A and B are shown apart, each in its own frame.
Chain A
């Protein structure tokens, strides 16, 4: 018989998760319930994090944003400042599943489910977001890319969970974007995802760039060479071609029911280019 807990504090939640090795945290539940139903996980305890006040809602933090880990994806759309600053992140989170699913699903859950195809993760990596991890040993702030360890596995220790997603202050002339390839128009898992975040100077020259990919490796990747190919350029076609070369070189995908190695590699480059153009226009509009 499963135990169902609704702790009111982060400490209680951590203690409950630490006490039972098979315990699972619950925020949106859109992955957990499916896994329980299929028998893939059989937790002895479920720890519902949604009753902890700090786990819900979006706050200003360090010039950027702190998003409670149990905040559903659709709630991000209601925050005008967040949408203006990080439209790529908000869009990525709102590509997951359906409206019904996004009314429950959270970015933190998307991250900790540790699927290489998670939509919000490349966008968060591109945005240089961090996760506030809470556990028996206290709090620590971790780069997003360091949370997933392998498909379905995280680097979190027993009793640890993500309490917040923190987005940095956005540069005044920055822009971000996320695109994914799916066979249909909705309701699919990304065959490939690409997140791009850029900063331009007043002349339109790229001064900083981060390019992240999903579903082309065991975990979402930050492709530093791809970002580097854009920095210092005016984002001309040749620069984007060099970026695309770096993206292709970084891809290490598998053949599976969702796509082939060849297709994933080719799409990663195309989507990274397209996302770069969107990020560029957003940055340009801001500068």
Chain B
């Protein structure tokens, strides 16, 4: 079931045309990261550490280089040492020294699978053979995998120079705690001690992976004159350019990045792993070099989402008003600092009104792959704890879970504990809509339970460029710098079509390379349709203004006497019978009215609005085996406005199912040697089609005043509620509150049989 009641004020916005890149993608013609071939290309391979923590005493590549067909070998010593240098990516800073060390270990391998050397050869099989001929002299060091162990004072230290950033009392003692932040407002302890209902506990969850089906891959070509080219799939070619140039310490203009189609990212392709290594190999070999990860490499060496351990306490008074929250969060950063720690408090504070707050968050490094963004980074983890507690408090008070949330939800005009001034947010509208769903009234069978949970995500704007140009026949090329990860070409074309009054089919949306369009930050943060879409609309408006000016010239009237509507300029001057000129006519005559009609717009909006969603989930629990099956699932979400509802619903459904996987079975599992025990789709158990029912969607549209068509971000928030929605449903079915993820059959079985 899908529910979407679009306002009829638009011609194209809110309709569901076929995506412009569709046929290439259903016929196998689209070129993804692993598909690109450059003339003369050779094949690289990466040697990875078998140890979770080891000092690299030396690496000898001479035997590998002697193998016929091998053209180049590199190690971390070939990369410049860049202590303290960072590069701005719009969304945040990237520490270049850490990024460099993650691409190729410098003096220590920090996790199993950490890249330590690379070769390039005339065939992939020769490259693999060559890896066996590389000798690495490792001094194996004690490792630490468990997050809480890593945070202890006596833990093996990963980075001897690391000191805790943000600590109230700075210490010069080496530590694995990379960052800490605390916020206190009011007296939370006192408020909670006196609360009528309190829910508390320790919630814990291991890292999970984004699980995109396309492994990372790139081709790089770096010529002797210093000019380099990279072809790769990523969430942002400008990000790839910035960090590749940064890690290699070369001018940004020497790196041109051409985006290929991207086979899923979910945040995991907002950083790089291969590109600088492929560049180095290419420079040495004098040939373009392909580097591609295997699925095992992806799991062992690309960023999972951080695990979290949180002690939390939330309470409410007898009337159902929340009185305070305490939370102590510890996020797992993996091998390098940067666990997205600040996002935890933000998410924690931006759902409900709390008169008193006492929160602390930290992140700790450990001998696991460096974490990366994953769809609403840090939010699903903390929301699992919050929304489990909220549900328990409502139950203690005998209140309906939606009514309890409505009573405490942030509304426009509120300011959250972290200082978010709530604009036209739609949390209340989502709760109201959820409350009206038939799903809530459907009967439940034996051993079945229903859970609801809400979720928040910040959504961002950020640097965005778009160009719009008219061809001679009035057809339109729209160029942006943002990879199409789930239908954004279609939404760009819809917005341009709507604005210019031309048929959707006459708009050709293109993803440009870094030399053909202005700077744009990544496709991420649920920003593309909002921020890049706004740039597209503004570029359309620029050429409309140009066409009005030209028409005024042709007609010899004032510009004010020219109006744009329905894809044509109209003369409104009194006593004037000039026939309107369509965009096609304007394009045909462009060379006699001032030349080509085109505009490029670069903007940097920061007035995005956050997204809220409410999920309703029915589960059946097999009381003998602990298996949880999802019987029915409804996603309610405020999207501002759905430009192409198919792809809006697709985001809601796909995000929900990623959350379902996270809740039920997905987890990084380590063995006692500190090695990942499930680096494949067989034992890293993402949901398969037979695990799921249809995912019903309800699109709530409370327009965003900062976007010409009202768009809020859509992509990320749907992964936030499912963890708690399922936990709450399992509680309803079994009476057991499960505070650890995943809720796999053995854990649910243990909870049913004597657990608490």
| A183 contacts B745, C-beta separation under 8 Å | yes
- Given the contacts A189-B683, A270-B624, A183 and B678 also touching, CB distance less than 8 Å: no
| B749 contacts A266, C-beta separation under 8 Å | yes
Any B CB within 8 A of the CB of A112 = no
In-complex Cβ contact of B691 among A185, A189, A262, A267 (8 A)? A185
Any A CB within 8 A of the CB of B687 = yes
Task: Please report the number of residue pairs spanning A and B whose Cβ atoms sit closer than 8 angstroms.
Answer: 53
Majority secondary structure of chain B interface residues (helix, strand, loop or mixed): loop
Total interface residues on B, using CB and 8 Å?
25
Please give me the residue from chain B that is nearest to A97 by CB atom. Answer: B682
Chain A positions 239-281 with a Cβ under 8 Å from a chain B Cβ: 256-260, 262-263, 266-267, 270
Any A CB within 8 A of the CB of B625 = yes
Any B CB within 8 A of the CB of A188 = yes
Any B CB within 8 A of the CB of A20 = no
Q: Which of A185, A262, A270 has the most CB of B within 10 A?
A: A185
Contact with A along B739-756 (1 / 0, CB 8 A): 000001110011001000
- Given the contacts A184-B665, A185-B688, A187-B688, A257 and B745 also touching, CB distance less than 8 Å: no
Chain B residues, CB < 8 A from A256? 677
| Nearest chain A CB to B126 CB, angstrom units | 12
Give Cα A266 to B749, complex, Å. Answer: 10
In-complex Cβ contact of A184 among B296, B626, B691 (8 A)? B691
| B683 contacts A186, C-beta separation under 8 Å | no
Contact with B along A186-216 (1 / 0, CB 8 A): 1111010000000000000000000000000
| B682 contacts A188, C-beta separation under 8 Å | yes
Any A CB within 8 A of the CB of B9 = no
- Given the contacts A185-B690, A267-B625, A260 and B746 also touching, CB distance less than 8 Å: yes
Chain B positions 196-230 with a Cβ under 8 Å from a chain A Cβ: none
| A186 contacts B749, C-beta separation under 8 Å | no
Chain A residues, CB < 8 A from B750? 262-263
Chain A residues, CB < 8 A from B624? 270
Chain A residues, CB < 8 A from B744? 183
| Nearest chain B CB to A74 CB, angstrom units | 17
Chain B residues, CB < 8 A from A259? 746
- Given the contacts A189-B682, A257-B683, A259-B746, A181 and B625 also touching, CB distance less than 8 Å: yes
- Given the contacts A257-B678, A263-B745, A186 and B688 also touching, CB distance less than 8 Å: yes
Please give me the residue from chain A that is nearest to B746 by CB atom. Answer: A263
Chain B residues, CB < 8 A from A258? 683
Any A CB within 8 A of the CB of B477 = no
Any A CB within 8 A of the CB of B402 = no
Chain A residues, CB < 8 A from B677? 256-257
Chain A residues, CB < 8 A from B681? 187
- Given the contacts A184-B691, A185-B691, A257 and B685 also touching, CB distance less than 8 Å: no
Any A CB within 8 A of the CB of B669 = yes
Please give me the residue from chain A that is nearest to B629 by CB atom. Answer: A185
Please give me the residue from chain A that is nearest to B686 by CB atom. Answer: A184
Chain A residues, CB < 8 A from B629? 185
Please give me the residue from chain A that is nearest to B687 by CB atom. Answer: A184
Chain B residues, CB < 8 A from A267? 625
Give Cα A36 to B703, complex, Å. Answer: 55
| A184 contacts B685, C-beta separation under 8 Å | yes
| Nearest chain A CB to B631 CB, angstrom units | 13
| Nearest chain A CB to B499 CB, angstrom units | 46
Majority secondary structure of chain A interface residues (helix, strand, loop or mixed): loop
| Nearest chain B CB to A203 CB, angstrom units | 29
Chain A residues, CB < 8 A from B678? 257
| B745 contacts A181, C-beta separation under 8 Å | yes
| Nearest chain B CB to A218 CB, angstrom units | 18
Q: Which of A186, A256, A266 has the most CB of B within 10 A?
A: A266
- Given the contacts A257-B677, A263-B749, A183 and B625 also touching, CB distance less than 8 Å: no
Give Cα A262 to B629, complex, Å. Answer: 22
Please give me the residue from chain B that is nearest to A256 by CB atom. Answer: B677
Chain A residues, CB < 8 A from B625? 181, 267, 270
| Nearest chain A CB to B155 CB, angstrom units | 24
| A183 contacts B665, C-beta separation under 8 Å | yes
| Nearest chain A CB to B664 CB, angstrom units | 8
Contact with A along B360-390 (1 / 0, CB 8 A): 0000000000000000000000000000000
| Nearest chain A CB to B678 CB, angstrom units | 5
| B665 contacts A257, C-beta separation under 8 Å | no
Please give me the residue from chain A that is nearest to B125 by CB atom. Answer: A1
Give Cα A191 to B626, complex, Å. Answer: 13
Give Cα A270 to B749, complex, Å. Answer: 12
| Nearest chain B CB to A247 CB, angstrom units | 14
Chain B positions 616-648 with a Cβ under 8 Å from a chain A Cβ: 624-627, 629
Give Cα A38 to B688, complex, Å. Answer: 24
Give Cα A270 to B627, complex, Å. Answer: 13
| Nearest chain A CB to B171 CB, angstrom units | 38
Chain B positions 510-545 with a Cβ under 8 Å from a chain A Cβ: none
Chain A residues, CB < 8 A from B669? 257
Q: Which of A38, A188, A263, A267 has the most CB of B within 10 A?
A: A263
Give Cα A201 to B444, complex, Å. Answer: 41
Give Cα A263 to B624, complex, Å. Answer: 11
Chain B positions 703-756 with a Cβ under 8 Å from a chain A Cβ: 744-746, 749-750, 753
Please give me the residue from chain B that is nearest to A266 by CB atom. Answer: B749
Give Cα A259 to B678, complex, Å. Answer: 13
Please give me the residue from chain B that is nearest to A192 by CB atom. Answer: B625
Chain B residues, CB < 8 A from A262? 746, 750
Chain B positions 659-705 with a Cβ under 8 Å from a chain A Cβ: 664-665, 669, 677-678, 681-683, 685, 687-688, 690-691
| Nearest chain A CB to B132 CB, angstrom units | 9
| Nearest chain B CB to A39 CB, angstrom units | 9
Please give me the residue from chain A that is nearest to B692 by CB atom. Answer: A185
Chain A residues, CB < 8 A from B683? 189, 257-258
Give Cα A258 to B665, complex, Å. Answer: 11
Chain B residues, CB < 8 A from A185? 629, 688, 690-691
Chain A positions 208-230 with a Cβ under 8 Å from a chain B Cβ: none
Give Cα A184 to B689, complex, Å. Answer: 10
Chain A residues, CB < 8 A from B682? 187-189
Give Cα A263 to B744, complex, Å. Answer: 11
Chain B residues, CB < 8 A from A263? 626, 745-746, 749-750
Give Cα A110 to B341, complex, Å. Answer: 47
- Given the contacts A189-B683, A257-B669, A270-B624, A184 and B688 also touching, CB distance less than 8 Å: yes
Give Cα A212 to B685, complex, Å. Answer: 27
Contact with B along A107-121 (1 / 0, CB 8 A): 000000000000000
Give Cα A183 to B746, complex, Å. Answer: 9
Q: Which of A256, A257, A259 has the most CB of B within 10 A?
A: A257
Give Cα A184 to B665, complex, Å. Answer: 8
| Nearest chain B CB to A9 CB, angstrom units | 32
Give Cα A109 to B246, complex, Å. Answer: 51
Chain B residues, CB < 8 A from A188? 682, 685
By Cβ-Cβ distance, the 4 closest A-B pairs, closest first, are: A263-B746, A185-B690, A257-B669, A257-B677
Q: List 10 A-B contacts (CB under 8 A).
A: A183-B664, A183-B685, A184-B688, A186-B688, A188-B685, A191-B746, A260-B746, A263-B745, A263-B746, A266-B749
Not counting A263-B626, A270-B624, a sample of 17 additional A-B residue pairs whose C-beta atoms are within 8 angstroms of each other reads A181-B627, A183-B627, A184-B687, A184-B688, A185-B690, A185-B691, A186-B688, A188-B682, A189-B682, A191-B745, A257-B669, A257-B677, A257-B683, A258-B683, A262-B746, A263-B750, A267-B625
